[in-house]
Amino acid sequence: MSDKPFTFDIVHQEKMILSKYDNHIVRRLSAMKGQFSDAEAYERMLAEKDRVLYEVYEVERPKATGELLHGLSIVLSGKVGNEFNMTKGHFHSVIETSEVYYCLRGVGYMVMETPEGKWAVEPFKPQSVLYVPPRWAHRSINTGEEDLVLFFVYPGNAGHDYGSIEKQGFRKLIVQKDGKPFIIDNPRWLPPEER
């Protein structure tokens, strides 16, 4: 991996892409078992097609303090039941690390929470910048009709901790009601003292 400065472009074609990246991660419906609240709708859709929910283009950097990992995260438009397409979501393994997101295209939300159960939901639209402070788990959700394209930057040593989110999801869900996105309580979510 080069230790020299470098530049690259965010290429606006029909799909947005980076002119230079090292890893391309594609997450499909099958990778999200147990994450969507409507399990029946999930199984029905999966039986039809294991469709792509989101993609990540990463520029590889050493997983070290002082480095910044960065790239594009693209959540495709769509729903499972009445719940909008979303990323798995995670805490950083080094929980005191933060992240910055810049929205290039599309609309949606970042759903966030702390290990103590504090929660926050912030909107994305083109040109929005979102700061995820240390200790906040984060999941991006596309509530629009086109791709939600986000540029992210976070510390090289942060790592991903998917464990607790995989167990019960986030405290809040974003669902479609009367054609609009709504924040609702996740019935599966338990406060830390009841887990």
Residue 41's region, left for phi above 0, alpha for psi from -120 to 50, else beta, is: alpha
Question: Which letter does DSSP use for residue 131 in this model?
Answer: E
d(CA 70, CA 45) in angstroms, rounded, equals: 32
d(CA 82, CA 132) in angstroms, rounded, equals: 26
87 lies in the site for ligand S6P, by CB under 6 A: yes
d(CA 11, CA 18) in angstroms, rounded, equals: 6
| Interface pick for ligand S6P out of 67, 76, 88, 98 (rule CB under 6 A) | 88
The item of ligand S6P, Zn ion, none sharing an interface with residue 73, based on CB under 5 to 8 Å by kind, is ligand S6P
Please give the C-alpha separations between residue 142 and each of 17, 18, 109, 124, 138, in angstroms, as whole numbers.
18, 20, 7, 9, 13
| Interface pick for ligand S6P out of 35, 37, 85, 140 (rule CB under 6 A) | 140
Query: Rounded to a whole number, what is the largest CA-CA distance in the chain?
Result: 52
Q: What are the start-end ranges of the H helices in the chain?
A: 39-48, 163-168
Among the candidate windows 85-93, 111-119, 166-174, 180-188, which touches ligand S6P by CB under 6 A? 85-93
Binding pattern for the stretch 93-132 against ligand S6P, x by CB under 6 A and - elsewhere: ------x---------------------------------
Binding site for Zn ion (CB under 5 A): 99
Q: How far is the CB of 179 from ligand S6P (least distance, A)?
A: 26
Q: How far is the CB of 73 from ligand S6P (least distance, A)?
A: 3
Binding pattern for the stretch 20-59 against ligand S6P, x by CB under 6 A and - elsewhere: -------x----------------------------x---
Binding-site ranges for ligand S6P (CB under 6 A):
27, 56, 73, 87-90, 99, 138, 140, 152, 154, 158, 160
